[in-house]
Amino acid sequence: MKFLVFNKGMKALSYDLDGAYVFGSDGIAIRRVKLTFDDGVIDCKKPNKSTSGLALLWPVEGFGKLLLPTTCLPERQRPYNLNVEITRAKLMQIINKREDWSVFSSPPVLTELSEQAQDLFIKAVQNLSNPAKAAQLADESLRRAMIFSERLSIRQAESFFNAKSSGHGFSRGCLGCQLDPRRINDPAYIDGLMELFGLVLVPVRWSDVQIEKGKYEFSLIDECISVLNKKKLAICAGPLICFSPDCLPRWLLSDKKADFEKIRDSAYQFVVQMVSRYSDRIRSWIVISGLNMFNHFGFNFEQVLEITRATNMAVKSVSNRVLKIIELSNPWGEYYSQLNNTIPPLVYVDMIMQSGIGFDAFGLQMRFGKNEFGMHVRDMMTISANLDRFALLGKALYITAVEVPSLLDSDKAESSGIWHSKWDEELQGQWMEHFYKIALSTPFIDSVVYSNLVDNKDSIISNSGLLKENLEPKRSFMVMKKLHNVIFSR
C-alpha cells in the first residue's frame, strides 16, 4: 500500500515517519510493517493484504501537527493520495460523532465551516486525476474540518459539563493530582494541592517498598498518608503492581528460578501487605497498571488474565469497601505494532470484562508532548472519541494521569506533534481547559488526576507542572483554579 505525499501542492521531498503506524479495520496496529519514504511516496510493506489504514503526524496549516489516520483502504498498485485520504477520515469522524452526540444543527459560523470543508473535499475527489490539485483542495478542506471538529467537541463538552455542574454531578474528588512524596513536608506545596484538588494520588512502586524479599519500607508512604489524612484529602494509591522493569523489585528480577506461579504469589503477597496496612485510610487503589503494554516476564494471554485476577482478589481478600482500578498504559494502542508480549488496549479490556474479574473501574493515561508511543499530540475530537469508546464499557473511568508541557525544545515539538503552536504556558492552560471539560462531561468518568503539581526533572513529560519549581503559578494553575470554582461554587 502506497501513498503520494504533497506539501502545499508540491510533491514532498522528505517526510519524517516518527510515530507512524499501520492499523487494521478493527483499529488494531499491525505488526511487522516496514514504512519507508522515497520520492514523494510512503510505502507500507505489510505481512498480509488486509484492508488497513496509515496513521502519522500530519501538518495542518494554522492548526498544528497532529497524529491523524487515513480511512481503512484495500491494497492496490496505484498509490493513494495521502492528503485526500486523511481528510476523508476526518470528515467521516465528524459525521460519526455528530450522530453519536445527536448534533444535527450548529450555529451559522460552524455550519459554514462544515459546508466549506465538504465542498472542498468533493472538489478534491473530482480532481483525483490531478494529484497535486486534489491534495491542495484536500488540505484546505482538512484545515476547515479540524477547526470545525474542535469547536464542535468543545461546544458539546461545555454543554454537558455545565449541565453536570448545575446538577451537582461532580464528586469532591473529581479533580485530583499525583503527589510528589519528596515535597510532603513542604507546607506551600501542600497548600497548592489543597487549593485545587480534593483527591491525591500517592505513587507506589513495588521496587521501592519491597527492597528485599520479605522486608518492607513503609516510612515514606506512612508519612504521606499521615499528612494527607490530617488535611482530610481523599487518597488513591498505586499502582501496586506494574510489570515494567523499573517498577519490579531487584530481588525478583534477579531470581532466575522465578516462574509464573512464584511471580504471581509474590505480587499477591505484596498487594495484601499494602492494602492491609492502609485499608482504613485509602479509599481507592490502582491495583495493576499497564499490563497491556508492560510485560517484562512475557506472560501469555492466560497468565495476563490470571495475574490481573489474582491482584484484584488480593485487594478483595483484605477489604470489600475499597475501589479497585485497573489502569491502561497508552489507550491508543500503537505500541502493539512494535512491542512483543503486548496486547491491544481494547482487547485487554474485553478479556477482563469477559473473564468475570472483580474490579470497579478502569484508569486511563492521557499524556501528550513526547515522541513515544501514545504521547504524540492528537486533536480534541479524537481524544473525545477515544474516551467515548471506553465510556461505553459500563465501568467507571478514572483519568489517572494527565500531562502536557508548558515548554518544549523546537525539535522535540516537531517530533511529538504540535497543537496550534509551540507549547508555552498559555497554550498548556488552554489545552487543559478544553481537555478537562471534555473528560468531565463524559459519562462514567469520575475523576481526572493531573500528573505533576510542580515541575520536576523526573516527570515523563518535561515542564508539565502547574507550578514552576519555585512554586510560582503558571497559566494552567489559574485555569484549574477557575475550573475548581465553577464546579464547587454552586
User: What is the rounded CA–CA span in Å between residue 51 and residue 450?
Assistant: 38
How many CA atoms within 13 Å lie on the side-chain side of 219? 4
The grid cell for 413 is 515539538
Amino acid code (one letter) for 313: M
Question: How many C-beta atoms surround the C-beta of residue 12 within 10 A?
Answer: 18
Ordered domains of the chain (ranges, CATH): 2-161 (no CATH), 171-488 (3.20.20.80)
The grid cell for 237 is 494509591
Per-residue pLDDT of the chain (490 residues; tens, 9 = 90+): 999 999 999 999 999 999 999 999 999 999 999 999 999 999 999 999 999 999 999 999 999 999 999 999 999 999 999 999 999 999 999 999 999 999 888 889 999 999 999 999 999 999 999 999 999 999 999 999 999 999 999 999 999 999 888 887 898 899 999 999 999 999 999 999 999 999 999 999 999 999 999 899 999 999 999 999 999 999 999 999 999 999 999 999 999 999 999 999 999 999 999 999 999 999 899 999 999 999 999 999 999 999 999 999 999 999 999 999 999 999 999 999 999 999 999 999 999 999 999 999 999 999 999 999 999 999 999 999 999 999 888 899 999 999 999 998 777 778 999 999 999 999 999 999 999 999 999 888 989 999 999 999 889 999 999 999 999 999 999 999 999 999 987 6
Is 27 in a helix, a strand, or coil?
A: coil
Specify the pairing of strand 52-60 against strand 64-69. Answer: antiparallel
- Whether 344 and 380 have beta carbons less than 8 Å apart is answered as no
Closest CA to 12 of 31, 39, 49, 36: 39
Sequential DSSP letters for 419-451? ESBS--HHHHHHHHHHHHHHHHHSTTEEEEEES
Closest CA to 16 of 371, 262, 398, 452: 371
User: What is the rounded CA–CA span in Å between residue 376 and residue 390?
Assistant: 20
The grid cell for 254 is 534477579
pLDDT at 159: 93
Q: What is the pTM of this model?
A: 0.95
pLDDT at 167: 81
DSSP class of 79 = P
DSSP class of 29 = B
pLDDT at 220: 97
The grid cell for 227 is 499528612
Alpha-carbon torsion angle 474, 397, 333, 239, nearest 10? 80
User: What is the rounded CA–CA span in Å between residue 377 and residue 374?
Assistant: 9
